Amino acid sequence: MGILNKILTAFRGGANEVGQNIVDANSTRIFEQEIRDAEKHLTKAKRELTDVMAKEMQASREIDRLKRSVAEHEGYATQALEQGNETLALEVAEKIAQLDSELAEQQSANDSFSAHAVRLKDLVKKTERQLADYQRQLSMVKTTESVQKATATITDSFASSNSKLLNAKDSLERIKARQQQFDDRLQASEALAEENSDKSLQAKLAEAGIGEQKSNANAVLDRLKARK
Amino acid sequence: MNIHTIANHLNDLGDNSHTGFQFDCYPIDGEVEVLQVNVVGREEIPVFVSVTDNQVLCIAYLWGEDEVKQARRAEMFETMLELNIPMPLSSFAKVDDKYVVYGALSVHSSMQEIEQELSVLSDNCLEVIDELVDFLQ
């Protein structure tokens, strides 16, 4: 069963009640142990792979050397034959036969190292994938648990402080109302500032005798006299 | 990275946040440490932050199952799924009987990224409630 399925099953089984864990602590520990084991296997396989690859390189160097040596001796044998020295040629041929058999041996060792290296590389890749998968699964379990516990913590905190999370509609309305109030206040203070600057301009104009003049007692008297 | 470094950063920001919001943080003690982050002016919908081994989780509660008009529940789910990708940085989820929006960040995130996450999450919350209010009782 996949880990998501386990988590869902635990949820639906009622494991989401406070105080009950999604996956019990023991199985989490077992899981963590499995991860550590896989990590150990991985380290071992990687070390082994390094060894095998080193041996493979050694063998291939040895093969090159032997091949060069065979070619060299073949040259010698040809030269001995050209000189008509059959005995020497035979001696060289024996040496070549010996080199050939060494070469075959090294070749087969090299093949076996190569095959082993391929197998180990596969193993390392597979173990790495498995390890990543284990770690992903463990993190899912731990996150689920952590969220559960965090929720319990939040619920407890709100219960003990006698405050409660409001329902969504009321919360939104309050926040909007506050925002509206803020906007209104901002607008009002802007309007006020504008008005004040208007007033100060009018005052300056009046002082300069420009614009609408304040009526004074003399003017009123003049007006009354004129009406008679 | 733990909730206290986040709390210190946000409380020290004052008016100098990159997002224009002010944050008030209150650590809540419990089996798992949780940081309650209030965005000033939006105290009704706090964001809760917890830090695990590999991620920083920011969760805001939308509404409870009891607030949902049960007859329109499926329609609400569909709307949530449709909004999930357009909604920046946050996703819908359900914890126990509560619907939430949440965002998850790497523990290697910068404080500025966390700040951005919190402000976007808070904006998303208001937007989502406004948008889905018809499904609520």
d(CA A87, CA A89): 5
pLDDT band for position A80 (50/70/90)?
very high
Q: What letter does residue A138 receive in the DSSP assignment? A: H
The DSSP-derived string for B39-102 is: ETT-TTS-EEEEE-SSEEEEEEEEEEGGGB-GGGHHHHHHHHHHHHTTSSS-EEEEETTEEEEE
Residues of B with CB under 8 A from a CB of A: 28-34, 36, 41-42, 44-45, 48, 50, 52-55, 57, 59, 61-64, 67, 95-96, 98, 126, 129-130, 133, 136
User: What residue ranges do the domains of chain A occupy?
Assistant: 3-165, 167-212
User: Quick check: B48 and A178 CB within 8 A?
Assistant: no
Size of the A and B interface in Cβ pairs below 8 Å: 84
Q: In order of start, what are the domains of chain B with their CATH numbers?
A: 3-135 (3.30.1460.10)
The pLDDT of residue A165: 65
User: Quick check: A157 and B36 CB within 8 A?
Assistant: yes
Q: How high does pLDDT run on average in chain A?
A: 84
Closest CA to A78 of A89, A67, A70: A89
User: For residue A170, which residues of chain B lie inside 8 Å, CB to CB?
Assistant: 44
The pLDDT of residue A113: 95
Identify whether the C-beta of residue A96 lies closer than 8 Å to the C-beta of residue A73: yes
User: Quick check: B57 and A147 CB within 8 A?
Assistant: yes
pLDDT band for position A13 (50/70/90)?
low
pLDDT band for position A19 (50/70/90)?
very low
**Chain B interface test: which of A11, A12, A167, A174 (most B C-beta within 10 Å):** A167
Which of A22-31, A187-196, B46-55, B122-131 is modeled with the greatest confidence?
B122-131
Q: A5 or A98: which carries more pLDDT confidence?
A: A98
d(CA B26, CA A122): 51
User: Quick check: B41 and A175 CB within 8 A?
Assistant: yes
Whether the per-residue pLDDT at A15 is higher than 60: the answer is: no
Alpha carbon A141 to its chain's center:
17
* Percent above pLDDT 90 for chain A: 39
Helix or strand (DSSP H, E) at A134: helix A86-160
The pLDDT of residue A172: 87
User: For residue B28, which residues of chain A lie inside 8 Å, CB to CB?
Assistant: 153-154, 157
At the second CATH level, the architecture of A3-165 is Orthogonal Bundle (1.10)
ipTM: 0.80
User: Quick check: B53 and A165 CB within 8 A?
Assistant: no
d(CA B38, CA A182): 18
Q: A153 or A96: which carries more pLDDT confidence?
A: A96
pLDDT band for position A181 (50/70/90)?
confident
d(CA B103, CA B106): 10
DSSP bridge partners of B37: B25, B47
Whether the per-residue pLDDT at A70 is higher than 50: the answer is: yes
User: Quick check: A153 and B30 CB within 8 A?
Assistant: yes
Q: A169 or B59: which carries more pLDDT confidence?
A: B59
Identify whether the C-beta of residue B45 lies closer than 8 Å to the C-beta of residue B125: yes
User: Quick check: B34 and A172 CB within 8 A?
Assistant: no
pLDDT band for position A149 (50/70/90)?
confident
| B69-77: average pLDDT | 96
Whether the per-residue pLDDT at B30 is higher than 90: the answer is: no
Nearest CB neighbour to A168, from listed B31, B50, B63: B63
User: Quick check: B64 and A182 CB within 8 A?
Assistant: no
Closest CA to B135 of B71, B90, B86: B71
Whether the per-residue pLDDT at A105 is higher than 50: the answer is: yes
User: Quick check: A153 and B64 CB within 8 A?
Assistant: no
Q: In chain B, whose CA is at the least distance from the CA of A149?
A: B32
- Compute φ and ψ for B2, nearest 5 degrees: -145, 180
Half-sphere exposure of B41 (CA within 13 A, CB side): 15
Token representation of residue A102:
């060494």
Find the distance separating the first CA and the last CA of chain B, reported in whole Å.
Answer: 40
Q: What is the pLDDT of residues A107-127, one digit of tens each?
A: 999 999 999 999 999 999 999
User: For residue B95, which residues of chain A lie inside 8 Å, CB to CB?
Assistant: 147-148, 151
Identify whether the C-beta of residue B28 lies closer than 8 Å to the C-beta of residue A157: yes
User: For residue A148, which residues of chain B lie inside 8 Å, CB to CB?
Assistant: 95
